[in-house]
Structure 1
């Protein structure tokens, strides 16, 4: 059975460093599970790992898409499964770092995305509803029919919210409830969850946003905006949507930055809730001595996969 390590957890908890540490220790390669780091030219706002931070460790599924392109859980699943096989065949250890629960579970459990066809007319109807009433109103439609997706998806992720609504309309079931989805993994997995005392995590998130701004987040967003990348999936992500509101004069610079911090903290809270309830992770609290925790994680991987 092919091996697979997964590192999940909220934003800013330290998944990137942990993945690189494991890759060095176990002859691994990293597969990015982040649906936004696939986009070229979106480096600062996605906290994309730098070549220096990679420290010689191969990283996959980074900078593979134009920001005008869409990227789905089904495409991630296909690409990640191929990479898992290739990395295992080289005698190395694949490590998926980051990502939403849907993306991760799609790979871990080999979801079948072909079962539910689309409804173009319904999608158009929901797109028009969003234009008239806003993304938050669309997001609220999920609250009663698919609370899992509601908690997992950011209100700005209009495309995936519409897909969740579409699946429910066509099947009467949520994405997670669809029949035929396997509950056993085809891989020999070690599923790692990173957490942190909430106040410290929020402090790290706030500092990360300030660092992003210092590194040129607003200028990065401005380049994308003036390149005509406006109504695309890529710039609906936290970090770009808020800055676009500043660029369009709807928010002051300071208010946009504060909104970005708030949205990031709320997203981290939703991520933790979802991962705790919906994934069978072994959790490691990174609040204290980080080196000690990394040693514990290394030991867990050794016992799980070797």
Structure 2
């Protein structure tokens, strides 16, 4: 860890899909002269705007945004690449005299950025091994790989859902290449911060959050999600690209193949989004020792509380109205 990074103030706004991270980040950026860095693993892709819930140019209100729409849909990207790219952006923003604000719900990206987890350690990657594992996953299914991981490293299997193909493959790759347990390499009990970071985790009452997610999916359909997903399907009908595995896109494959109705697709996206939100909340609750948990019941009150938290972190005394 570079010692000079430790002095850089960094605000992180995390939380589940549909909770309202982007809206709050804009208000904080306006208040504290901030610039926003995307921390969502699907919003890195260009042309995947509707299904990822990507912020629009109008919604940005002139606030600079980074690491949005800079990868093609067929390109792969991982936590170690994000750590390098985000760190570079954070340093540049700080040198401009502005406040870097990372916004996203991809827990592994956020955790890898904030703490020195050793992503991409020398000798832990082998493209040939990864390709072979990807081929086995495609041929045999995730359950087979998950059972293999469980037999080798029960601790890692307990933390990686069977549906998460990328994490399964990564864990098996690390074990095979290094000869060490993936869970041992992921132990972060003593979290050493890389930056002078302040983590805000947003939440809402469960029924409110789920209703927002359901309505958000319906709005995505109205905005043209089917056409966006179909363009992805035409590029990768075998669904072998990283971007095709994202919620909001993967559910369309049976529909385009005549095996599902539109109503079934919508219901699947809503259900998968709700389940993902629950997993995100569990991740942020369990994986981060220091965090400010902000349950939003009033937008104005949440913003006021967030400004107070950030001000105290930055040692800024807010003027009372």
User: Which residue of the other structure, out of 241, 247, 256, is the alignment partner of 1:247?
Assistant: 256
CA distance in 1, matches of 2:101, 2:298: 23
Q: Give the alignment's TM-score, normalised by structure 2.
A: 0.87
Match of 1:209 in 2: 217
Q: What 5-or-longer segments of structure 1 have no aligned partner?
A: none
Cα shift at 1:174: 2.5
Cα shift at 1:225: 1.8
CA distance in 2, matches of 1:52, 1:303: 30
Q: Give the alignment's TM-score, normalised by structure 1.
A: 0.91
Number of residue equivalences: 302
Match of 1:166 in 2: 173
CA distance in 1, matches of 2:172, 2:136: 13
CA distance in 1, matches of 2:187, 2:201: 27
User: Please, which moves more after superposition, 132-141 or 163-172?
Assistant: 132-141
Residues 21-36 of structure 1 mapped to structure 2, 5 A cutoff: 21-36=27-42
Q: Does 1:129 align with 2:136?
A: yes
Deviation per CA, 1:256-285, whole angstroms, max 9, x where unpaired?
A: 111111111111111111110001321000
Asked whether the 8 Å contact 2:52–2:248 carries over to 1, the reply is: yes
CA distance in 2, matches of 1:76, 1:265: 25
Residues 32-111 of structure 1 mapped to structure 2, 5 A cutoff: 32-111=38-117
Cα shift at 1:146: 1.1
Give the aligned CA root-mean-square deviation in angstroms: 2.2
1:140–1:261 Cα change, 3 Å: farther
Q: What 5-or-longer segments of structure 2 have no aligned partner?
A: 1-6, 316-321
Match of 1:218 in 2: 226
1:107–1:190 Cα change, 3 Å: same
Cα shift at 1:148: 6.0
Asked whether the 8 Å contact 1:2–1:88 carries over to 2, the reply is: yes
Match of 1:150 in 2: 160
1:250–1:268 Cα change, 3 Å: same
Q: Does 1:233 align with 2:230?
A: no
User: Please, which moves more after superposition, 130-139 or 296-305?
Assistant: 130-139
Deviation per CA, 1:142-170, whole angstroms, max 9, x where unpaired?
A: 5634156415xx82x42332002222343
CA distance in 2, matches of 1:121, 1:94: 37
Cα shift at 1:120: 4.8
Match of 2:318 in 1: none
User: Please, which moves more after superposition, 167-176 or 59-68?
Assistant: 167-176
Asked whether the 8 Å contact 1:246–1:256 carries over to 2, the reply is: yes
Asked whether the 8 Å contact 1:109–1:182 carries over to 2, the reply is: no
User: Which residue of the other structure, out of 279, 284, 294, is the alignment partner of 1:270?
Assistant: 279
Asked whether the 8 Å contact 2:160–2:167 carries over to 1, the reply is: no
Asked whether the 8 Å contact 1:142–1:165 carries over to 2, the reply is: yes
Greater than 4 Å deviation, 4+ residue runs: 119-122, 139-143, 178-182
User: Please, which moves more after superposition, 106-115 or 203-212?
Assistant: 106-115
CA distance in 2, matches of 1:183, 1:16: 26
